[in-house]
């Protein structure tokens, strides 16, 4: 019996990286899965997008764990599409207990060089569409009356002013505030709401090939290679532990804990999985 046996978890951004790791880990703990990803690129994201084949592979891996999965290619910015998937998933799998709002995109560059279109796209995907997902699932959890756990993926950039990431940082800070508000609003229904703060994770967003094995690219356009920039901004990206990168599965371990009853009295908090980058 896994820690999540008999439960159903929704995971967004599930095609690869952290989303896939969360879906597979929760399935290994006994949960059936509802999952989606847009499987398309964004104009503001300067890295390769996930594909439909990636999402299909996530579904295969969940089924390999012996769990059922209801999955769909959709855009989290489309509230009606999200709600339809949630309704279909609950109808097919019987309920909803855990929600991992994990999707997001990133744009790299100096704040004053970000275009209006790039800014609007990052905010709409990272913040507004997360609110739309939570808007779709909150009534379901309330109506069930059995409580639940919502885990929102923010970032270490959600609690510090990381350079070259202005729209991303603003969206991730806002997610921390949204999480705290929902923790207060949903607490009366025994629904817990927490934020996870990943540090440097080996995903395509960070410049890695999807399996994390082909080395890192420089997502900051070479800025940190300039001595004068590295001297002042480089320490911001340093960790307390002697590890620069983590695997998506390292974050999934924390998500599994927050999804389980082992964390039943934890709500409204931020859990940093960052090798100590926010210690300072």
Count of residues making up the chain: 280
Tell whether 143 is covered by a domain: yes
Distance CA 132, CA 39 (A): 18
Tell whether 125 is covered by a domain: yes
Sequence-separated contacts (24+) of 169-172 with Cβ below 8 Å:
170/123, 171/104, 171/122, 171/123, 171/126, 171/127, 172/104, 172/126
* Reported confidence tier of residue 213, pLDDT bands at 50, 70, 90: very low
Domain of 221 in residue numbering reads as 8-273
Q: Is the pTM of this model over 0.75?
A: yes
CB distance 228 to 257 below 8 Å: no
Residues labelled catalytic: 168
Burial category of 151 from C-beta neighbours within 10 Å (exposed 0-12, middle 13-18, buried 19 and up): buried
Residues of the chain above pLDDT 90, percent: 74
The tokens for 171 are: 């969206």
Tell whether 279 is covered by a domain: no
| CATH number where 136 lies | 3.40.50.720
Select from 241, 161, 149, 237 the least CA-distant residue to 196: 149
Provide the Cα torsion 44, 48, 53, 55; round to 10°.
Answer: -50
Packing angle between helix 17-28 and helix 248-259, nearest 10 degrees?
A: 50
The tokens for 89 are: 């998933």
Position 211 scores a pLDDT of: 47
Tell whether 280 is covered by a domain: no
Residue 36: strand pairing partners: 12, 72
From the CB of residue 168, how many other CB atoms can be counted at a distance below 10 Å?
Answer: 24
Tell whether 178 is covered by a domain: yes
Q: What is the pLDDT of residues 110-126, one digit of tens each?
A: 999 999 999 999 999 99
Tell whether 49 is covered by a domain: yes
Distance CA 229, CA 233 (A): 6
Tell whether 82 is covered by a domain: yes
Q: What is the pLDDT of residues 36-88, one digit of tens each?
A: 999 999 998 878 899 999 999 999 999 999 999 999 999 999 999 999 999 99
Tell whether 65 is covered by a domain: yes
Question: How many domains does the chain divide into?
Answer: 1
Q: What is the pLDDT of residues 196-209, one digit of tens each?
A: 999 888 887 766 65
Q: In angstroms, what CA-CA distances link 244 with 121, 206, 213, 230, 277?
A: 29, 12, 14, 16, 9
């Amino acid at each position: 019996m896994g820690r999540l046996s008999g439960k159903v978890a929704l995971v967004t951004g599930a095609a690869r990286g952290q989303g896939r790791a969360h879906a597979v880990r929760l399935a290994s703990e006994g949960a059936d899965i509802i999952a989606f990803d847009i499987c398309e690129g964004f104009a503001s994201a300067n890295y390769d997008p996930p594909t439909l084949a990636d999402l299909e592979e996530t579904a295969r891996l969940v089924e390999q764990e012996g769990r059922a999965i209801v999955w769909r290619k959709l855009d989290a910015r489309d509230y009606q599409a999200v709600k339809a998937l949630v309704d279909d998933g609950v109808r097919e799998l019987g309920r909803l207990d855990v929600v991992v709002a994990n999707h997001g995109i990133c744009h790299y560059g100096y704040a004053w060089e970000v275009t209006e279109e790039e800014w609007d796209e990052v905010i709409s995907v990272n913040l507004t569409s997360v609110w739309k997902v939570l808007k779709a699932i909150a009534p379901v959890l309330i109506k069930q009356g059995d409580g639940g756990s919502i885990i929102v993926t923010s970032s270490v950039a959600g609690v510090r002013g990381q350079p070259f990431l202005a729209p991303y940082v603003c969206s991730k800070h806002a997610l921390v505030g949204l999480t705290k508000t929902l923790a207060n609003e949903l607490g009366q229904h025994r629904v817990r709401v927490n934020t996870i703060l990943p540090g440097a994770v080996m995903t395509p967003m960070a410049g890695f090939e999807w399996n994390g094995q082909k080395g890192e690219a420089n997502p900051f356009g070479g800025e940190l290679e300039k001595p004068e920039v590295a001297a002042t901004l480089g320490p911001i990206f340093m960790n307390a532990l002697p590890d620069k990168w983590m695997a998506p599965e390292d974050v999934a371990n924390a998500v599994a804990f927050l999804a389980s009853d082992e964390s039943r009295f934890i709500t409204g908090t931020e859990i940093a999985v960052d090798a100590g980058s926010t210690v300072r």
